[in-house]
A and B are shown apart, each in its own frame.
Chain A
Amino acid sequence: MNILTLFVLIPVVTMLAIGFSKSMKSIRVVAAIGMGIQLILAAFLVYAYLTERAAGNTAEMLFTYDALWFPSLNIHYSIGVDGISVAMIALTAVVVFAGIFASWEVEYLSKEFFISLILLASGVFGFFISIDLFTMLLFYELAVIPMYLLIGIWGSGPKEYSAMKLTLMLMGGSALLMVGLLGIYFYSAPDGTPLTWNLLEISKNTIPIEMQRFLFPFTFIGFGILGALFPFHTWSPDGHASAPTAVSMLHAGVLMKLGGYGAFRVAIFLMPDAAQEQAWIFLLLTGTSVVYGAFGAIFQKDLKYINAYSSVSHCGLVLFAILMMNQTALNGAVIQMISHGLMTALFFALIGMIYGRTHTRLINEMGGLMKVMPFLSVVYVIAGLASLGLPGLSGFVAEMTIFIGSFQHTDSFHRMLTIIAAASIVITAVYILRVVATLLYGPIRNDHYNHLTDARWFEKLSTVTLLVCIAAIGIAPLWLSDMINFSLAPIVTKLSMATSSFVSIF
């Protein structure tokens, strides 16, 4: 059995096992065991991948497996991973594992909750291991649709509205995406040879430039909507704010990364010429995302909204870096995806835990939490520092790499944009520090807070798992960036061979 297939198989088996479990206790234990195995498997995958590479295996994708599915359309179940997808899989495994423990006390329809959550996870895993565009799309949509139930049933606030908005916007995104992918398929091979959905084979062929110009916006925006591309980001704050804790974690932490990953794995990798030509439009949009998201976060009073807008800003930075299209910036983009995934998952987990105790998410109703729940508060501070890019934590590595990469462009358009985007770090500091100050320090605003308890064991497990990863990337980023760099090489080579050059309005 191929190790990658296990990543889809284990969630399926776990879902079945949950389906047969009787009590709430056994349900969550089964879920934890299943996702624990998944986490170990992910760690093993990273190890196996590094050993393979160290042994001198230079194939683009490792651990590949290919089975013909629909012969007449040449659809395959084709899987394989490179350094980038290995990193994304590891991220997903960590976040899902932490998510299970963060939702340890879901009592209402807990069986359905964990099944939907793991279904969502299996879609994400499937997406990251796919090489075939059809299965990629299938897993992509599979990951989106459980969100509706997860937010609609277990959410809070205007949950029905948010769930519907999120689902429809993301499905609208997949409408664009589907057109893009179908177009790619019909130009995937030179005339007379059989068409293919296989990413690697398509990349060897050059799609005619007129078609690229037509298809690139479809594909890029299609993925971009999931990556919160301005002005299609509006599902994100509402969705994240209404979703239950684990779902916010998974969604902001992992699902939004599907957008970034797809945008460069499919849109830019397969259509480099159009990407070069049209990048400036999307650079302006993503630049707006970065700054606008950060400003949006300043004005919010609800903890979840603050974090949701900060996600828009950080995910905007991912797409921004991808569009810079050089080795360093792309490397930064991938690290940013992972770093933001871990950070934002940690934030949402903490917010969920604080909300579970104080029953409010409005920052000006809370205060002095450091005194009553020191553990959660300290973790919150560390997560905040990581988010504003303190050296030694993952956020710094990511943002530094991105801005260095972006500044390597010598023209004023890119440099101006980079400077503006880099300014968002200051804004980030404003809203992070403001929250930390009002929420954690100062007097306790409500006597009832004196009786609150600190984190329980499962909460500690959940947060510490994420925290360890954040610190690990911050302290030793080299192994990660090496792993990514190797796999970026073919993409960067393809980009540099693109015939069209950058077109700027300036």
Chain B
Amino acid sequence: MNIYDFLIMRHELVLVIIALVVLIIDLGLKPAQKRHIIPVAVTLFIIHTIIGFLPSSGGILFGGMFHSSPLLVMMKNVLNIGVLIILLQSYSWLIKPENKEKMSEYFVIMFFTLTGMYFMISAGDFLMFYLGLETASIPIAALAAYMHHRTKSAEAGVKYILSSALSSGILLFGLSLIYGTTGSILFSDIAFSITDSPLQIFALIFFISGMAFKISLVPFQLWTADVYEGAPTNVTSYLSVISKGAASFVFMLILFKVFFPVMEVWRDILYTLSIATMIIGNLFALRQKNMKRFLAFSSIAQAGFILLGIMVGSKLGMTSVIYFILTYIFSNLGAFGVVSAIENASGKLSMDDYNGLYKTNPKLSLLMMLSVFSLAGIPPVAGFFGKFFLFTSAASAGLYWLVFIAILNATISLYYYLLVVKAMFINKNETPIPAFKTDLPARAGLILSALGIFILGFWSQVYEWINNLTVGIF
């Protein structure tokens, strides 16, 4: 390996180094100094994020197992921004006494899962893809069970690892069928031998099912709500934003790279999954009172929208998916940031506790309103642009009825998003959550997401930048 090879995999290398450095520094700290690890880890990650944005040319390593290109680098950068915001938002939760012993673990585990996602995105064959997938998902179970003294958190960890193992099994079975029928695991080789023979369609269906678990598409969504509710709030936001975003990227990339000869088949499958996901996700979200479960179901519905862009299979589709995920990261993290800030300050998680929040905490309420509007796709915030471009891409393939169903679902989702707004702004409450100040890092995280929500839509260069890098099947 020479220096250029290092540059090609700099995301992965730098992140692994940072994780190890955090681990080593933590060893040398006395118990009373443990919390100093937080600023160190966050600073290192900021440096990592900046390094990620340096220009790169891309290349291929390990005989085709590892690919890098400006498109893939951009996807990793998108994830980095999200992780950065989550790390900032975690501060006030991490310094709580019960987490004192294991702060560095939080960072190390999170960095390792992120490394897994990088490898998954950069995979050039199914082996690397599978390795990345497992590296990304197994440590998340540890994160979900982070507050193991709480039954719910431990339960979330177990639920996640079991369902993740099952989905990996299904996925792996699909991959084995592909290897059996094509005799190769390299994406570039397989693409030429994929036909609509029954065995390969079977493999495709298994592959889609396995990925559907990760993106929590209906009917593979059942683990989502419980895990999201049980896991610590910041881990939940990591699961619902970063993990889901990375899985969607990879799903799209592999469908485009490997399965493009049978596009007709997977378009139909995704069409059905998309409608089911949007409708069921919305219907379940309607009745939720717990904010975390509520956001969990709403994020299921959002995954249905992502499929709209994937199934188009064009450049426009890919651009809109990446752009949507970018806007989704900011808006969902805005919402989760407020939920986590309130949970840390008052321990309250129910929507009824949010009644009258605007009176006591106007800024948090405004940010929450912007975030849910953005999730619902209301202008002028970023979510509107994200959704609109997804719809545009679906309409470009002539799927007008699907677009119509999707927008109707967006309207249904507006109902429950407005319930949050109603609770904060309209409902009266004798004992609202008292006014409190969020700490500096959390505030920085919230401001970052607010800026993203506000600016991203109007700043068309972001969209054009993504559009310059994307590719389509055609």
Contact = CB atoms under 8 A, between A and B. Distances in A.
Interface of A: 69-73, 75, 134, 137-139, 141-142, 145, 148-149, 152-153, 159-160, 164, 167-168, 171-172, 174-176, 178-179, 182-183, 185-186, 214, 218
Contacts of A178: 388, 391, 403, 407
B421 interface: yes
Q: Which of A138, A168, A179, A183 has the most CB of B within 10 A?
A: A179
Given A141-B379, A148-B421, A178-B391, A183 B400 contact: yes
A139 B388 CA distance: 14
Contact of A185 (B378, B392, B418): B392
B460 A70 contact: yes
Nearest to A195: B396
Interface stretch (B89-97, B298-306, B408-416): B408-416
Contact of B373 (A145, A179, A182): A145
Contacts of B391: 178, 182
Given A167-B414, A176-B404, A179-B400, A153 B425 contact: yes
Given A71-B460, A138-B380, 4 more contacts: A137-B388, A172-B408, A178-B388, A182-B391
B389 interface: yes
Q: How large is the interface on B (under 10, 10 to 19, 20 to 34, 35 or more residues)?
A: 20 to 34
Contacts of A145: 373, 378-379
Contacts of B400: 179, 182-183, 214
A175 B418 contact: no
A221 B410 CA distance: 18
Contact of A138 (B384, B404, B414, B421): B384
A171 B404 contact: no
Given A73-B392, A141-B378, A172-B411, A148 B464 contact: no
Interface string B375-387: 0001110001000
B422 interface: yes
Interface of B: 319, 373, 378-380, 384, 388-389, 391-392, 395-396, 398, 400, 403-404, 407-408, 410-411, 414-415, 418, 421-422, 425-426, 460, 463-464, 467
Contacts of A134: 388
Contact of A175 (B392, B404, B415, B464): B404
A275 B467 CA distance: 37
A186 B391 CA distance: 12
Nearest to A139: B379
A73 B389 contact: yes
Given A182-B392, A186-B395, A160 B378 contact: no
Nearest to B395: A182
Nearest to B427: A160
Contacts of B411: 168, 171-172, 175
Nearest to B426: A152
- Which 9 A/B pairs are nearest by Cβ-Cβ distance? A175-B407, A182-B395, A152-B426, A171-B411, A70-B460, A138-B379, A72-B467, A179-B404, A141-B379
A73 B373 CA distance: 24
For the residues of B in contact with A, the DSSP-based class is: helix
B414 A72 contact: no
Contacts of A172: 408, 411
Contacts of B467: 72
A186 B392 CA distance: 9
B380 A142 contact: yes
Nearest to A68: B460
16 contacts: A71-B460, A72-B464, A73-B389, A138-B384, A141-B379, A142-B379, A145-B378, A171-B410, A171-B411, A174-B407, A179-B403, A182-B391, A183-B400, A186-B395, A214-B400, A218-B404
A164 B415 contact: yes
B378 A182 contact: no
B205 to A, nearest CB: 30
A225 to B, nearest CB: 12
B426 A153 contact: yes
A70 B463 contact: yes
Given A141-B379, A178-B403, A183 B395 contact: yes
A365 B460 CA distance: 57
Of A69, A159, A167, A171, chain B has the most CB atoms within 10 Å of the CB of A171
Contacts of A137: 388
Nearest to A141: B379
B426 A160 contact: yes
Contacts of B396: 186
Contact of A168 (B373, B398, B415): B415
Contacts of B379: 138-139, 141-142, 145
B422 A160 contact: yes
Nearest to B460: A70
B425 A149 contact: yes
